[in-house]
Amino acid sequence: MITKKFLLMGSMAVMGVAFISCSNESLFDDNAYHKQKEEAYTSNFEKRYGKIDPNQTWDFTTDTPTYSMVSTGGATRAAASLETADFTCEVREMDIQPDISTYIAANLPKGQNNSSKGRKFEMVIGENDFTVVPLFQGCASYYWELWMTVEGVGEYKIWSKGEGLKYRKAGTNDEFQTVGTGKDGMDSSKGPFEVKAPSYTFNNLPTGNSMAFSLRVWTSYDKFLAYEQNPLNEANHPIISSSVDAWMIDLQNAPVPVGLPEGYSATIIGCEDNKHGDNDFEDLVFMVYGKPVPPTKRVEKVIEQKSKRYIMEDLGETDDFDFNDVVFDIFYDRKEITYIYDNADATVPSDTQTRTLENLGVVRAAGGTLDFAIKIAGEEVWVKSENVSKTQMINTQPGYNPYNVMGEFKATGYIANANNVSVVVEDRGSNDGVHSIPFPEAGVAPKIVAVPVTTNWMNERVKVPTDWFTPKPANN
C-alpha cells in the first residue's frame, strides 16, 4: 500500500515558502533557487569529471536477459475445485509398519533443512490405479488440505489434516491416538510408530496426463473456517504449497514400505507447510503407490528477466558524487518458464510453459540523509521514511551487501527504453520543499544513471570514478 503522505508534506512545505516570501521584503523565487542549485551541481560535476559531451547519455546497461532458478514456492492463488471427471476414488484403512517412522526420524529430522533429500516433481498417470496414503503428520500449528491437480481434469481434494490418521508407539498395546488439526502431530523422535491411515485409490484418471500435488495451507484452523464462510474474500485464501514449486519433494532414498503387496512400488513425499518455514519437509509425509507407482517427472522453473540498476545522487551534498543516495533495481520483461522433463534423468525438456510476470523493483541502498520517493511512470511506489528513518544511511558502508532488499515495489508502467523513473527528494532546509529528479537527458549533469545490476555502487562518500562518465562518441 503506497500512501501519499510524503508528497503532501512536500507541497505543504512549498506553501510555507510562499507564505514566508510574501511576508518578506526579499522575494524568494523557488524556481530561481532550484536553478541556482542545478547550476552549482553542473559546475561541480564538470570540475570533477570534465566538460560534458552534449551527446553523452546516461544509460550504461545492455539488453541481455538473465536467468535464475525460482526459489520461492507458492504464490497465493485462488482455490478452485473442478470435480468433473468420471474417475473413482475408493477410501480404505491401511496399516503402516514402523519402518516408515524410523526412516522419517533418521532422514527428515525436525527443524533441519532437508530440502536436499528430494526434488520437486510431477507424476505421469499410468494405465493402472494408484493409491495415496498419508503416513506421518508432524507437529505444526498450520492447517492444510492435500489436493491433487490432474492435467485435463482439474483439482481434487484428497485429505484434510488429521482426518482418519491414528498412531501409537510401536511394540506397545496402547490405544491408537488420533492426530488433530492443530499442533498435536507426531514427534518423530518419540517413535517409531505404528500407524493406521486412510488410503485413497484412484481409478480411471486419463493415462499419460500429468499430475501434481499441493497443500492448501491456512495459517490457522480459524482462517480456514473464515474461508469456508467467505471463499470470495481473497484474504481468506490459502497459500499453495506445491510439488512443482519445491514445497513437496519426492524423497530419493526412501524405502518401499514393509507390507506393500508383491510387485507394488511406492514414492514417498515430504511436504513443507510454510514458505518462511524450516524446510524440514516432515509437516506431512505421504506416499503414492501402485503397480507400478506413477513415474515421476522432473520439473524446473526459471525466471527470465532483464534488469537495470538506477543509482542516484540526491543533491544533498553537491560535491559528494557517491551516487549511492538511492540505489534500486528494476527487473522487467519477466517470464517464468517451467521446463518439464519426461523423467528425472532426462536432459531435454519434453514441455515448457511460460507465464508473464509483473515488473519488479527492489530497493538496495539509501546512502543519503534526505527523505525521498521513487516514482515509476509518474506513480509513487516507494518512500524512504515509510520504511526506515529518513536520515539513516543504509547499506553503503564498506562491506555492504549487494543483494540487500530494503524494499520491493511493483514497477507497473515501467518502460525500459524510456527510463521513466524519477526520484522526488526532500530538500535540506525545512522550507525548501521537494524537487523531482527525472532520468537525465543527454548532455546534462546526471543525478541518476542506469548501470547493469552487476555493477556495485560506491561506498559512502566515495566518488564514482571518472571513467564511468568518460564522454562517449555520438551515435555513429
Query: In terms of CB distance, is 168 or 275 closer to Ca ion?
Result: 275
Min separation Cβ 462 and Ca ion, Å: 9
Min separation Cβ 312 and Ca ion, Å: 8
Question: Could you say which DSSP state residue 162 is in?
Answer: T
CA 212 to chain centre: 21
Whether a cis peptide bond, with omega within 30° of 0, leads into 440 is no
DSSP labels, 267-283: EEEEE---TTS-----S
Q: Cα-flanking dihedrals φ and ψ of residue 302, to 5°?
A: -130, 155
Min separation Cβ 416 and Ca ion, Å: 25
Query: In terms of CB distance, is 212 or 448 closer to Ca ion?
Result: 448
Q: Cα-flanking dihedrals φ and ψ of residue 48, to 5°?
A: -85, -45
Min separation Cβ 197 and Ca ion, Å: 20
Query: In terms of CB distance, is 290 or 407 closer to Ca ion?
Result: 407
Distance CA 362, CA 345 (A): 36
Query: In terms of CB distance, is 196 or 275 closer to Ca ion?
Result: 275
Q: Are 421 and 448 in contact (CB under 8 A)?
A: yes
Query: In terms of CB distance, is 194 or 371 closer to Ca ion?
Result: 371
Min separation Cβ 395 and Ca ion, Å: 11
Q: Are 211 and 134 in contact (CB under 8 A)?
A: no
Query: In terms of CB distance, is 245 or 320 closer to Ca ion?
Result: 320
Distance CA 379, CA 251 (A): 47
- Which of 455, 330, 326, 464 lies closest to 396, judged by CA? 326
Distance CA 445, CA 41 (A): 7
Min separation Cβ 460 and Ca ion, Å: 5
CA 208 to chain centre: 32
Query: In terms of CB distance, is 214 or 324 closer to Ca ion?
Result: 324
Query: In terms of CB distance, is 56 or 279 closer to Ca ion?
Result: 279
Cell numbers 481434494 correspond to what residue?
157
CA dihedral defined by 317, 322, 328, 330, rounded to 10 degrees?
A: 120
Q: Return the beta strands (E) in 234-347 as ranges.
A: 239-242, 248-251, 265-271, 284-290, 296-312, 326-340
CA 268 to chain centre: 27
Min separation Cβ 356 and Ca ion, Å: 32
Distance CA 166, CA 154 (A): 30
Query: In terms of CB distance, is 278 or 300 closer to Ca ion?
Result: 278
Which residues are CB-contacts of 453 (< 8 A; sequence separation ≥ 6)? Answer: 307, 308, 309, 329
H-helix or E-strand containing 347?
Answer: none
Q: Which residues of 173-211 are buried (b: 16+ CB within 10 A; e: fewer)?
A: eeeeeebebeeebbebeebbbbbebbbbbbeebeeeebb
Query: In terms of CB distance, is 340 or 424 closer to Ca ion?
Result: 424
Q: Name the residues that contact Ca ion, by CB under 5 A.
A: 277-278, 280, 283, 313, 320, 322, 324-325, 367
Compute how many other C-beta atoms are within 10 angstroms of the C-beta atom of residue 348.
7
Q: Are 251 and 107 in contact (CB under 8 A)?
A: yes
Min separation Cβ 277 and Ca ion, Å: 4
Min separation Cβ 41 and Ca ion, Å: 11
Distance CA 327, CA 460 (A): 12
Query: In terms of CB distance, is 62 or 401 closer to Ca ion?
Result: 401
Distance CA 271, CA 280 (A): 8
CB-nearest residue to Ca ion: 367
Min separation Cβ 383 and Ca ion, Å: 18
Min separation Cβ 368 and Ca ion, Å: 5
Min separation Cβ 285 and Ca ion, Å: 11
Which residues are CB-contacts of 144 (< 8 A; sequence separation ≥ 6)? Answer: 160, 161, 215, 216, 217, 218, 238, 241, 273, 283, 284
Min separation Cβ 271 and Ca ion, Å: 8
At 360, list the grid cell: 519488479
